[in-house]
Structure 1
Amino acid sequence: MTSHDSPTRGPAKPGPYVISGILIAIAIIMPLLVPMYARHDPVLWGIPFFYWYQLLWVFIASGLLAISYVIMRKEDRRRRAEVREGKGA
Structure 2
Amino acid sequence: MVTPARVVIALCLVAPFVAMLWVGSYAKTDPVFIGIPFFYWYQMLWVLLSTVLTMIAYKLWQRDQRARRDASKGGAAQ
Residue 19 of structure 2 corresponds to residue 30 of structure 1: yes
Q: CA RMSD in A?
A: 1.4
Q: Name the counterpart of 1:80.
A: 69
Matched to 1:39, the amino acid is K
**Alpha-carbon displacement from aligned partner over 1:13-67 (angstroms, at most 9, x marks no partner):** 5222112112211121111111111111111111111000000000111111111
* CA distance, structure 2, for counterparts of residue 37 and residue 15 of structure 1: 30
In 2, Cα distance between equivalents of 1:27 and 1:73: 21
Residue in 1 that maps onto 2:55: 66
Map of 2:28 onto structure 1: 39
Q: Percent identity?
A: 35
| Corresponding letter in the other structure for 2:62 | R
| TM-score normalised by L of structure 2 | 0.87
Q: Distance in 2 between matches of 1:55 and 1:17?
A: 27
Question: Which structure 1 residue ranges, 4+ long, deviate > 6 Å from structure 2?
Answer: none
Aligned letter for 1:86?
Answer: G
Query: Which is bigger in relative contact order (C-alpha 8 A, separation at least 6)?
Result: 1
- Count how many residue pairs are aligned between Structure 1 and Structure 2: 78
